Amino acid sequence: MVRAFGILFGFQAIGALVAGLTGLPVPGNVLGMVLLVAALLAGAVRVEWIESAADVLVDNLAFLFVPAGVGIMSYFDLIAREWLPISISIVGSLILVLVVTGKGCEIAARLSAGRDAD
């Protein structure tokens, strides 16, 4: 578990370093995730080295963002003022993403399957 956390924090640090040095507008931990997947695919990191920590983190992801959500207590006046655009944004965006992703994926899958069959 300690090694697993060490490796995950290591990738986060490398991600932050790469983001900082290149000036890429991408969060360091997101780059760290990409580098971790690359390292797993290349065989440089083994699943057994990281799974004890990674599984605990991913399984409890919902708990980890509770403190961030509590921060909403400082913005009750903002929400009272802008509840309408916020609500429209949430509902509209959710439905459009569902439709576009679901239909887009299905149509592209059908087209590529058709092409393969030719």
Residue 21 lies near other proteins (rule: CB under 8 A): no
Using the rule CB under 8 A, is 18 a contact of other proteins? no
Torsion, CA 48, CA 53, CA 56, CA 57, rounded to 10 = -130
Residue with Cβ nearer other proteins (17 or 55):
55
The DSSP output letter for 23 is: T
Total residues contacting other proteins by CB under 8 A comes to 71
- CA triple 7-8-12, angle to 5 deg: 115
Tokens read off for 37: 């997947």
Q: Does 44 bind other proteins (CB under 8 A)?
A: no
Residue of the chain from 68, 80, 117, 118 that contacts other proteins (CB under 8 A)? 68
Distance (Å, rounded) from C-alpha 118 to C-alpha 111?
11
Q: Match 């509902």 to its residue by tokens.
A: 91
Question: For residues 28 and 18, is the Cβ–Cβ distance under 8 A?
Answer: yes
- Interaction between residue 58 and other proteins (CB under 8 A): yes
Give yes or no for residue 33 binding other proteins (CB under 8 A).
yes
Cβ closer to other proteins: 17 or 30? Answer: 30
| Residue 80, amino acid | A
Contact flag: residue 22 with other proteins (CB under 8 A):
no
| Nearer Cβ to other proteins (3/55) | 55
Q: Does 78 bind other proteins (CB under 8 A)?
A: yes
